[in-house]
Every structure is written in C-alpha cells, then in structure tokens.
Amino acid sequence: MSLDARAARWRYLVLLGLRWLPVGFLIPITVLLPLSRGLSLSQVGIAFAAQGVLVLALELPTGGLSDSWGRRPVLLLSTIVGIAAIGLLVVADSFVEFLVVYALQGVYRALDSGPLEAWYVDATLAAEPTAKLERGLSAGSAMLSGAIAVGALASGGLIALDPFTSVDTLTLPVLVAVGLTVVSAVAVAILMTEHRAGPDRTGLLASVRKVPRTVREGAGLVRGNRVLLALIGVELFWGFGMVTFEGLMPVRLAEVVDSTDRAAALMGPVSSAAWFASAAGAACITVVSKRLGIAPTAAVTRVLQGLAVVLMGVLAGPVGLVVAYLACYTIHGASNPLHATLLHREVTAEHRSTLISLNSMVSQPAGAVGTVVLTALADGTSITTALVAGGVVLAVAAPLYVPAWRAERVRRAGGAQAVAVAPEDVAPMR
C-alpha cells in the first residue's frame, strides 16, 4: 500500500534524524581526533581529500544505481559501509589508516547521497502532486540540524565527563556513533517501504547494467538546462567554502583559547548550539522565501553566510568567534531546503536521485580541494587568512541563482505549480 504524504513525511524525518545523529557525535572530534593521534593539519587535509576523490568517482554511478535498483537497497548498502568506516576510525592511528577511513567514508557518502530525499519527494508527489516541497524539505533540514545538535551536545558531554578511563576521551564519541549507525540501518529496513512494481523494478545486476544510461541521461538533463547548470555551480563554490566552518572552526577555536583539549570540550556545546541554530533557520526560512521568492532568498543567504565566515576569521576572542559561527549555521540551515527545492523543480522521479548525486558530486570534490587549499593556506599563513578566503568563495556564488530566479518569475506569471517537469519539457540553454 502506498504511503500518504503525511506518513511519508514522518518516516522521512525519523530516518533523517537517525541518519545524522551519529554525525553529530563525530563533528566535534573530526579534526581533533587525527591531530591527537599524531597527524599534522596538512595530513588531515589530504586524508579528508580521499573522501572527496571517492565521491567524485562514485557519486553518479551510485545515484544511477538508486534510480534503477531502488532507494531502499542502496541506502541499506550505504549504512553497512558507514559502519565499517566508523568502526575503523575507532582504532586508526596512522596516516594510512586514516586514508582508508576517509576512503570508506567517500563510498558511504556516495551511496548515501540522494536515496532518502529522492524517496521522500517521490512518495510525496505520488500522494499529492501539487505538494509544496519546500515545506517538507525545510522540516527535513530542521530535523537533520537538530539531530546533529543533539549528537554534538552529547559528544561534548562525553568528552568533558570522560566517564571511562580505560577508553581514550576522543574515542568515546566514535564508539557511540558506531552503535547509532547500526540502529539507523535497522530503521531503514523497517520504515523505508518502496513500491517499484512493473518494468521499473529490476535486480541488482540488471540495475548495474542500467547505470551508464541513467547517468548519461541525468548528465544530459543538466547540460540542457541553464537553471540546473547554475545550481550545480552554486554547489561547487558552497562545497569549497564549507570547509571553513566544518573543518577549520575547531582549529580556530583552539587557537583562540590556546588549548586543543579545551577546544574539544567546547566544540560539543558550541556545535550543538550551531546545529540548533541551523534547525531554526531551516524552520523559519519558508516565511521569508514566501515573500521574496525561493531563488532570491537563496542568493541572499550565500552572501550572508560568506560574511559570517569572514567575521569568524577576523573577530577577536571566543565570544565573537562563536557568535559568527552560530550566524553561519543559522544561514546554512536556511539555505539547504531552498537549494534542494530549486533542484527538485527541474527533474522527475526517473532521474531524481541522479540529480541529487550530481549536486553532491561537485560539492564533495570541491570540499576536498577546499580542504587541501585552505589547510595549506592556514599552515602557510594563518587560520584567519584561510577563513576570509573561504568566506569570499561562499559569497561569490550568489549570482548563480539568477537563472532559477528568472524561471521562478516565469512560473509565477504563468500560474504554474512548483512541481517537477518532464525532461523533454525542460527549456534548452541559450
């Protein structure tokens, strides 16, 4: 039996929360753990880059696999790889081992990118073709941020309390993340029902054979659509710039408080507050976008987030740094559902996961490049210089929302519903 829109939404929110709760436990120690085990900041950057390289290689094939084989089996496979990656992180203590960890994380991210969101959008539009996707996606972004916030807060508490003297302090959150990822896998198996009857339902081998065609069609869709091409360009700049607040913030905080251990303890509550701020931004942004329009609001958020990152670099003292960081994450949470809504307006279910993978494909390698460039810049100059450079990159992506803004105005003028269009109906680039 098919799900109604409400049932699809609550299952989506539950699965999304369980998916990102383990990430919350890892965020405060993502950079600090390898540093504590002897890696330099540049080595950490190179290890992170391995993740981006694997995502670049696998993002489109795994997106095509999700479109041909099914959202549910691909998401289950991703959780298995994720469990292996986090499990190895528990014991990794050399540069090579961390390379393997983040290579596995790259496979995990590639498989994980798209299936759940595509499943939700497909189920919602099947039950209610005129549904306003931005509402559910905003709720999803709020849930994602809230789950990370709770995980980060709990992670910081574990680090501060250090209840098990026999286990390294920074390893405790990793152990919890392993267990939570197992719970997430079980929830996917139970809640993510998928009905793909008829000719669209294929086995694994047949689905793998269909992947090249699905990928070609998805890539062709982007090449033939100015709006999609510009949105993918936004993600390129966004992925590069996100390194500033996802990776460099703990290092900047350690510099400000002059202690890695104090920074690790502080990053728990600070990260938690940031993700709660992100959830608030996601929950409230539909009010703003309803008045201004989705595309122009998205463009404004790019400029504001870039400014917040620049302030993270130039403001003195921990209070100013934390305030700018919270502002950055509030805007980040607001931006995500707007960008996703603009993407989903331009594609149908047949290529939805492939498009999400295309979007993520440019984000992850861009993040890998950003990690290498910005960590090297930080090593060669200062953390402040790296943050300012990353903030500028975030802001300069704003004009790329103009094609989506024009398309939005055309839809409004014609009274069109903001739903997906068939590939053959997409206007060609001029």
Is the pTM higher than 0.85? The answer reads no
Q: Is residue 405 included in any domain, yes or no? A: yes
| Predicted pLDDT of residue 61 | 81
Residue 252, classed as helix, strand or coil, is: helix
The per-residue pLDDT of the chain, averaged, comes to 83
**pLDDT of 310 higher than 80:** yes
Q: Is residue 63 included in any domain, yes or no? A: yes
Q: Is residue 227 included in any domain, yes or no? A: yes
The CATH number of whichever domain residue 287 belongs to comes to: 1.20.1250.20
Provide the token pair at 382: 């200062």
Q: What is the rounded CA–CA span in Å between residue 383 and residue 375?
A: 8
Q: Is the dihedral of CA 202, 224, 140, 272 positive or negative?
A: positive
**DSSP characters over 366-383:** HHHHHHHHHHHHHHHT-H
Q: Residues 94-110: pLDDT tens digits? A: 899 999 999 999 899 88
Tell me how many domains the chain contains. Answer: 1
Full residue range of the structural domain in which residue 263 is found: 5-193+200-423
Q: Is residue 361 included in any domain, yes or no? A: yes
**pLDDT of 424 higher than 50:** no
**pLDDT of 208 higher than 80:** no
Position of tokens 């689905």?
A: 207
Q: Is residue 428 included in any domain, yes or no? A: no
Q: Which of 130-134, 197-201, 383-387 has the highest mean pLDDT?
A: 383-387
Average pLDDT of span 240-261 = 86
Q: Please, is 199 exposed, middle or buried when counting C-beta atoms within 10 Å of its C-beta (0-12, 13-18, 19+)?
A: exposed
Closest CA to 314 of 240, 237, 383: 383
In this prediction, residue 48 has a pLDDT band, given cuts at 50, 70 and 90, of: confident
Q: Residues 138-190: pLDDT tens digits? A: 888 889 888 988 888 888 788 888 778 777 888 899 999 999 999 999 999 98
Where is pLDDT greater, at 217 or 175?
A: 175
Q: What percent of the chain has a predicted confidence (pLDDT) above 70?
A: 89
Q: Is residue 42 included in any domain, yes or no? A: yes
Q: Is residue 388 included in any domain, yes or no? A: yes
| Predicted pLDDT of residue 210 | 64
